[in-house]
């Protein structure tokens, strides 16, 4: 889980959990049902166009709003391999890691549709479309283990 590569989907500031999974779709806890409506509050076509491995790139305060765990679940189940943002709401960040969705705090230069690769162990993001590279804080081994196991609960069960 230390290397990720995908196409960029760009979002702005203050993408809140009501945008990520609008309340009208919270009648279920089924992850696949949630994924069919991910980002519907911001971009109605996202769920039908996102492909496995794609990456969300956002500005400040991604995941603000309520503490609903369905938001990172919907993103991950839709096939998004990572979320990169300039900053995250703390509870969203924790919820994402808890379910095994990599979230990376970084300010990188990329356009929608660019292909980027991440090496979480080395702390490098490369925009393969532009050739630019960016340094990030490398993920510690225990974080990579949690992400590789699919989240905190699965990691804990594997440790037993």
CATH code of 95's domain: 3.20.19.10
Question: How many domains is the chain partitioned into structurally?
Answer: 1
The SS3 of residue 12 is coil
Q: Ramachandran region of residue 53, left (φ > 0), alpha (ψ -120 to 50) or beta?
A: left
Query: 97 is written with which tokens?
Result: 């890691």
The model's pLDDT over 62-79, given as tens digits with 9 standing for 90+, comes to: 999 988 899 999 999 999
22 φ, ψ to 5°? Answer: -55, 145
Instruction: Pick out the chain residues at pLDDT < 70.
Output: 160
The model's pTM is 0.94
Q: Which of 36, 84, 46 is nearest to 63 (CA)?
A: 84
Q: Are 47 and 93 in contact (CB under 8 A)?
A: no
Query: Whole domain around residue 143: which residue ranges?
Result: 3-157
H helices of 16-79, in order, are: 17-20, 31-35, 46-49, 70-77
What pLDDT shows up at residue 160? 66
């Amino acid at each position: 889980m230390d290397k990720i590569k995908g196409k960029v989907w760009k979002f702005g500031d203050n993408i809140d959990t009501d945008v990520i999974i609008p309340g009208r779709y919270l009648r279920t806890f089924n992850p696949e049902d949630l994924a069919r409506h991910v980002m519907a509050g911001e971009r109605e076509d996202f769920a039908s166009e996102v492909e496995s491995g794609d990456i969300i790139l956002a500005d400040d305060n991604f995941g603000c709003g309520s503490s609903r765990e369905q938001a990172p679940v919907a993103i991950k189940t839709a096939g998004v391999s990572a979320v990169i943002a300039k900053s995250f709401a703390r509870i969203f960040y924790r919820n994402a890691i808890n379910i095994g969705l990599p979230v990376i705090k970084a300010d990188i230069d990329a356009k929608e549709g660019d292909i980027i690769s991440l090496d979480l162990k080395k702390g490098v993001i490369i925009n393969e479309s532009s050739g630019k590279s960016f340094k990030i804080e490398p993920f510690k081994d225990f974080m990579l283990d949690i992400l590789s196991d699919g989240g905190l609960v699965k990691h804990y069960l594997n440790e037993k």
